[in-house]
Amino acid sequence: MTEQDTSHPLERMTIVGDLEAASFVPWIRRHAAKLGLSHTISHTSSQRIELEVAGPEELIDMMEMGCSLGPIDVWVERIDRTAISGERT
17 assigned to some structural domain:
no
4 assigned to some structural domain:
no
Q: What is the pTM for the complete model shown?
A: 0.84
1 assigned to some structural domain:
no
Q: Which amino acid, residue 52?
A: E
42 assigned to some structural domain:
yes
Split into its structural domains, the chain has a count of 1
DSSP 36-52: T-EEEEEEE-SSEEEEE
Cβ neighbours around 38 below 10 Å, total: 18
46 assigned to some structural domain:
yes
Domain that holds residue 38: 22-88
Give the pLDDT of residue 70.
Answer: 84
55 assigned to some structural domain:
yes
Helix boundaries (H) for 1-89: 24-35, 57-69
Q: Are the beta carbons of 10 and 87 closer than 8 angstroms?
A: yes
Q: Are the beta carbons of 80 and 13 closer than 8 angstroms?
A: yes
54 assigned to some structural domain:
yes
3 assigned to some structural domain:
no
Cβ neighbours around 50 below 10 Å, total: 17
Give the pLDDT of residue 86.
Answer: 57
pLDDT digits (tens, 9 = 90+) for 37-48: 999 999 999 999
Q: Are the beta carbons of 26 and 87 closer than 8 angstroms?
A: no
